[in-house]
Amino acid sequence: MNELTTPRTRESLENEITELKRQLAEAHAVILKLSGQIEELQRSGKRQAVPFARREHVERPKKRGRKRGKGQFKNREKPKAEEIRETKQAELSDCPQCQCELKNVKEHEQYEIDIPEIKPIITLFLMLSGTCPECGKRHWMVHPDQISRAVGASGVVIGPRAKALAMDLKHRFGASYGKVSEVLNEAFHLNVTRGAWQQADQRLANQAQPIYQALSEALRACAVVHGDETGWRIGTLAAWLWVFTNQKITVYTIETSRGHEVAVNILGKEFKGILVSDCFRAYDHHELENWLKQKCLSHLLKDLKELTETKVRGAVRFAREVKELLQSALALKAQKSQLSARAYQDQAQALEVRLDELIDAKRQLTDPDNARFAKRLRKHRKHILRFLYVDELDATNNLAERQLRPAVITRKTNGCNRTSKGAQTHAILGSVLATCRQQAVPILEYLIKLQKFGETPPSLTYCLSPAT
């Protein structure tokens, strides 16, 4: 009889199989546990709702508020005597507990600054109209402070300041029309529905359309423009909110396309400035091939950091060397004012040569991730270190991302747009508000002038030049 078929051998094999099954079950349980922990870590790394959450309690957390010796600290100044509208005095004659007369009585002052109860101011405008005896047309005369010619059943309108405040709350601070209606009705007794605020915004966007076009035209003549995009929705359809900005103006547009044609429509086919962006392929379309560009170094450094953290041994060397080179380029640009023109040029040229060596196609990179990143750098080679030679050019696209941040908050708290008309309204008014803030223009006063028949708001492009 064969040795493997003996009862003893068969029993030992069964025991061994049983033990292996047990070990396999334990290993499977460990794998499931570790997989859950990995997923939780990945979610917590991307979670923005609680970015400062900790799993363990910190016994001695950092003290909140201003640190000693850091920043400015000053008390609120006391109001002037002519600013005090009312004086109220608290009475205290006897001890509340012993009912004895108090001695050494002192007087203490406290000033309270509050918002008065606001009630709407109602203005009656008396308009005149007359018919021309020759042409037969009826002509209306309106007051310069009016914002509408509506009469009859529509003859009660909301004023320009209320509309400007509602628009600012909606398109700059991200409040929904429902919340805008609640706040203004409660605080100002306006009794306006959210649908009415939405219609008012559309009319205001129509009035701001020429300003929006002027901003787009001015952006085409700028020397540096930052561009970026983020996901959006129009109703149930996927869309993208694009931003094109510099230090003085910002233009938003919401499109159902994420293609290069959006950049062409805003900046024009013959854009002569420098476009700062990430490495999204829409910015590398052949129609944009002759454009001058600067690729965002922050995005590249972020990817390099991930490579340095995940690679080991020799594979980490490439990412580390490229990362050090880009950081050296940023440091060189920061020190430009302290160096002579010749010294700066020599160091910049040395960085150019070193970058070419690192990403040379002849260099054998065995790690596939490193090879792909080197190929990516070769594709954008002439757009990586351009910031070294243009003083007003940033190496990163942080400006565009900062201008996108309010839109991202609005998307999280308020959703996006339900209709294409609403998307256009949001883009126009958002552009005007962002540009006013960049130029320190009083937003409410600007929007009030925009609505009145007798006033014209100042241009938002007068301070711009091609070098901006």
Same domain, 304 and 382: yes
Residue 53: what pLDDT? Answer: 58
Rg, C-alpha atoms of the chain = 33
- Do 435 and 289 reside in the same domain of the chain? yes
Rounded CA-CA distance 429/424 in Å is 9
Indicate if 363 and 423 belong to the same structural domain: no
pLDDT at 207 (0 to 100)? 93
- From CA 221, how far away is CA 106, in angstroms rounded? 68
Provide the residue type at 8 as one letter.
Answer: R
At residue 278, what are phi and psi to the nearest 5 degrees?
Answer: -80, -170
Location of structure tokens 């990945």: 42
Note whether 318 and 384 are same-domain residues: yes
Residue 230 covered by a domain: yes
Among 329, 364, 389, the domain boundary falls at: 389
| Confidence (pLDDT) at 463 | 55
Do residues 406 and 237 make contact, with C-beta atoms less than 8 angstroms apart?
Answer: no
CB 449 within 8 A of CB 161: no
Backbone φ and ψ for 41, nearest 5 degrees, come out as -65, -40
Task: Compute CA distances 298 → 153, 245, 302, whole Å.
Answer: 57, 18, 6
User: Average pLDDT per run of 10 along the chain, which is 468 residues long?
Assistant: 56 84 85 80 59 65 76 80 90 82 86 89 92 90 91 90 94 90 92 92 94 94 95 92 95 94 93 94 91 95 90 87 95 94 95 94 89 94 94 94 90 87 94 94 93 88 57
Q: Please, what's the largest Cα pairwise distance for the chain?
A: 129
- For residues 280 and 407, membership in a common domain is answered with yes
Instruction: Report the sign of the C-alpha dihedral through residues 94, 97, 98, 104, in that order.
Output: negative
**Could you tell me if residue 80 is inside a domain?**
no
Using DSSP's 3-state secondary structure scheme, residue 241 falls into: strand
The total of structural domains in the chain comes to 2
Domain co-membership, 301 together with 262? no
User: What is the span of the domain harbouring residue 313?
Assistant: 297-389
**What's residue 96's pLDDT?**
81
Positive or negative, the CA dihedral 262, 265, 266, 272 is positive
Same domain, 414 and 303: no
**283 and 411 share a domain?**
yes
Domain boundary among 389, 413, 428: 389
**Region of residue 238 (left: phi > 0; alpha: psi -120 to 50; beta: else):** beta
Sole residue written with tokens 């060596």: 357
Q: Does the residue 98 lie in any domain?
A: no
Q: 2 is written with which tokens?
A: 């064969």
HEC string of 427-454 equals HHHHHHHHHHHHCCCCHHHHHHHHHCCC
- The three-state secondary structure class of 99 is coil
Between CA 331 and CA 361 the distance in angstroms is: 27
Which of 351, 372, 389 is the C-terminal boundary of a domain? 389
Q: Which residue do the tokens 């750098």 mark?
A: 377
Neighbours of 179 (CB within 10 A): 16
Cα(347)–Cα(434) distance, integer angstroms: 38
Q: Judge if 303 and 229 occupy the same domain.
A: no
Whether residues 223 and 340 share a domain: the answer is no
Q: Tokens for 19?
A: 């033990």
Q: Are residues 290 and 336 in the same domain?
A: no
Nearest residue to 170 (alpha-carbon basis) of 209, 190, 215, 200? 200
- What CATH number is attached to the domain comprising 409? 3.30.420.10
Please name the residues in contact with 249: beta carbons below 8 A apart, sequence gap of 6 or more.
215, 218, 219, 222, 435, 438, 439, 460, 461, 464
For residue 263, tell me if it sits in a domain.
yes
Cβ atoms < 10 Å from Cβ of 148:
16
Please answer whether residues 287 and 260 qualify as being in contact, where contact means their C-beta atoms are separated by less than 8 angstroms: yes
| Residue 440 backbone class (left: φ over 0; alpha: ψ -120 to 50; beta: rest) | left
Does 253 map to a domain? yes
String of DSSP letters for 29-81 = HHHHHHHHHHHHHHHHHH--SSTT--SS--SSPPPPSPPTTSS---PPPPPPG
366 and 303, same structural domain? yes
End-to-end CA distance of the chain: 96
Residue 20 located in a structural domain:
no
Residue-level length of the chain: 468
Tokens of 188: 């100002």
Question: Which residues lie closer than 8 Å to 404 by C-beta, 6 or more apart?
Answer: 228, 229, 230, 241, 243
Give the residue among 284, 231, 288 at the shortest CA–CA distance from 265: 288
Could you tell me if residue 423 is inside a domain? yes
Which residues lie across from 237 on neighbouring strands?
234
Cα–Cα distance for residue pair 359/433, rounded to 1 Å: 44
The answer to whether position 212 is within a domain reads no
- Phi and psi dihedrals of 223, rounded to 5? -75, -30
